[in-house]
Chain A
Amino acid sequence: MKDNLMKESLIKNGSLKSDDLFVKLLSYHVQLIDDVFVESVMKKIDSAFKFRQWVLSIFTVLGCIGGLIGLSMLWGSSKAVFESVLLSGYSLLFFTLIVVAVVVFFTWVLNEEFETP
C-alpha cells in the first residue's frame, strides 16, 4: 500500500490524480463501535438530569423560605389589615383560589423536571 500511495502521490507530467488519493487516504478506515462510549454518554445524561433536579429543588425551597420570611415580617405590622381583609368571605375564597392555582402551576412546571429520563 505504501508503494502504491507513493506512486499515486507523485506529480506526473504536471498532473496529479489527487481526488482518488484523498478519498483513499481521508476516508474513515475504522468503524468506532464501542458500548462503553454509549454507556458513558447515558451516564452523563443521567448526571446532568439529576443536577438540574437538585438545582430546581434547592431554589424552590429557598424561594418558599424567602416568601415565608417576607410574610412573617409583614404580618406583625399589618395584622389588623390582614384580619379585616382575609376574614371576609369573598377575600378568603379568592385567596384560596390563588393558592391552589399557584400549587397547580408549580406542579405542572416541576413535574417534567422530576420525570426520570
Chain B
Amino acid sequence: MPMITQKKNVSITGKVTPDDAECIACVVSSSDPEAFAQLVRKYQSSVRQFLRRLSAGDHAMADDLAQETFLLAYQKISTYKGSGHFKGWLFKIAYRRFLRMKQTGAAKYEIISSDITLNSVSNDAVEADILAEKMMGYLTVEERVLITLNISEGMSHSEISQYTGISLGTIKSSIRRSKQKLIKEFSTEEQVA
C-alpha cells in the first residue's frame, strides 16, 4: 500500500546532519558498507522520485540511474566536503548522470507528451505521482529539474543554482516559464473537456 504523504516545502539548508556525518565518516574511513546502506535507505526515495520526474515517468531508467548515482556517490564520497546538504550533493550527481544519459539518447526525453488527460486524476497517491511525472513531459529537461527541485524538494533558487550550476536568472525565468506551460496545458484540457 503506497504511503500517502504530504511533503512540506522544507528548504534544504545548512550542513550535513549528525546522522549523515557519522555514516559518511564510517564510509570514508573504513569503507563500511552498512553505513552507506543506511544512507541509501534514507535518500533512495528522494533520488528515485527526482529521477522519475526528470525522466517523465520512465521508472526503469530512473531506478537504473538512481543505482548509478549511489554507486558513484560511494566511489566519490571522500570528495564530499560537507559544505551543503548531502541530499543536494546526491541530486547533483543524479542530475549529471541524467545529462550524460541524455546526451546518448536525447531525443526520447524531449518528446512532449500529448496523452495526458486530467480526468485520470484520482485520490490515489500512486496515480498522483504518475500524473506529475507525465506532466513533466510538457517541459524540457532543464525545466523539469528546476521545477522539481523548487516545488517538489522545496529548494530555494540559490540552492538550486549551487547544485545544478545554472545561473539564478535562468532558474527564475525557467521556473516561471514551466508554470506557464503547465497552466496553459491545464487550461487547454479544461476547454476541451
Please say whether chains A and B are actual partners in one complex.
Answer: yes
Point out residues on A near B: beta carbons under 8 Å: 1-2, 5-6, 9-11, 16, 18, 22-23, 25-35, 37-38, 40-42, 44-46, 48, 115, 117
A2 with B129, Cβ < 8 A, contacts A28-B49, A34-B44, A40-B67 known: no
Inter-chain CA distance A25–B53, complex, in Å, is 12
Q: Which of A10, A22, A33, A40 contacts B190 (CB 8 A)?
A: A10
In the complex, what residue of chain B is closest to A30 when comparing beta carbons?
B2
Main secondary structure of the interface of B (DSSP, over half): helix
- Asked if B82 is an interface residue, CB under 8 A from chain A, the answer is no
A1 — which chain B residues lie within 8 A by C-beta? 121-123
- Annotate B4-42 by CB proximity to A: 1 below 8 A, 0 otherwise: 111101000000000000000000000101001100110
Query: Which residue of A29, A40, A117 has the most chain B CB atoms within 10 A of its CB atom?
Result: A29
- Asked if B3 is an interface residue, CB under 8 A from chain A, the answer is yes
Point out residues on B near A: beta carbons under 8 Å: 2-7, 9, 31, 33, 36-37, 40-41, 44-46, 48-49, 53, 63, 66-67, 70-71, 74-75, 118-119, 121-123, 125-126, 128-129, 131-132, 135, 147-148, 151-152, 179, 182-183, 186-187, 190, 193
Q: A2 to B121, Cβ gap below 8 A?
A: yes
Given A26-B148, A29-B4, A37-B67, 10 other A-B residues pairs in contact with their CB atoms under 8 A: A5-B121, A26-B132, A26-B147, A26-B152, A28-B49, A33-B41, A38-B40, A41-B71, A42-B37, A42-B40
